[in-house]
Homo-oligomer: A and B are copies of this chain.
Amino acid sequence: MKIIELKTPYLIFLANETRDGFVKTGHGIVEWRRTLCEGQLRLEGGTIDLGLPSMTIKDAVETNIGSLIIGTASIGGGIPDAWIDTLEDALLKGIDIVAGVHNHLKDVPRLREAAARSGARLVDIRIPPENIPVGNGRKRTGRRLLTVGTDCVVGKKYTALALEKDMKGRGMNVDFRASGQTGIMIAGKGIPIDAVVSDFVSGAAELLSPDNDADHWDIIEGQGGIIHPGYAAVSMGLLVGSQPDAFVVCHKANRMYIDGWDNFVLPTIQEVIERTVQIGKLTNAAIRCVGVSVNTSQLNPEEREKYLDDLSKEIELPCVDPLKDGTQEIIDHLNNEFNNK
């Protein structure tokens, strides 16, 4: 296994959760991959509804569920005792259990044993595959677009998924490539790039977007920030290994400082474009920025329009809020740049 691959379809496990903010993973999967989701499973007391059919483990077996996805974050990190009976039952019936942040499946002996007995897997989405090679820098076939950011939590995953959706809508040959936990659950495969040992980050990025058809676009989920005191190494390896033809800069309007590093002024969009081009040229001499994706949730409608207009004039590229406007302007520009070449 060179990249993590999840069995589909999914049953989303919501436990006894009542707080919507703790079910971001579940919501994200349903938003972007409704067709992969066959059902949801709540325990007693649970009130969250993703709009999926309710299912027992017995139903799940009949529906040929591949993976039970833990769609909620438990407090404290462990697997609550109240979950164990259900998860063990799923494993014994051959259904993989998939979990991310804070859920340590392998620390629970009953789950370990049930998995060993049936052959079902405990998939910890934070753990990268073994034997990732060092990046070789070889030019791969097909096209690649990477979302990069002025910071973390500025919409790199959202933008990549929105681009994939809008490009699919135009009949383009395109795939979202996941480099983070929620992204991997949505895509059904990927590599948690930030958990890869630094010697192998660009190699992992190469595995993430392998050779493909000449007209095919990989839309690669970015991580970190290329100008960031904590996460620049991750972004560097992902950029060099992805060898993107194109990139979109993601930004949050009105953010002034790097989130969590308040003595670091946020780099400008132009600085991120220049640095990304400089570094990206190593593995793709023709790398270019094709647009900017801005989270404008802090702006009112008039501010938003002016902000995006001013930015488009300054950067001379399409600038959109994908949540409000979609990504069509960026795709128009992308097609102009690449279709005739």
Contacts and interface: CB of A to CB of B under 8 A. Distances in A.
A279 interface: yes
A193 interface: yes
Interface string A186-219: 0000000111111101110000000000000000
A111 interface: no
A260 to B, nearest CB: 9
Interface in A97-146: 134-138
Given A263-B137, A275-B278, A203 B230 contact: yes
Interface string A246-273: 0000000000000001011000000000
Interface centre among A227, A237, A264 (most CB of B within 10 A): A237
Contacts of A264: 137, 282
A294 interface: no
A224 to B, nearest CB: 8
Given A136-B261, A137-B263, A263-B137, A282 B232 contact: yes
B229 A237 contact: no
B196 A229 contact: no
A198 B203 contact: no
Contacts of A136: 229-230, 261
11 contacts: A134-B230, A135-B229, A136-B230, A137-B263, A193-B198, A198-B234, A199-B231, A199-B234, A232-B237, A232-B282, A264-B282
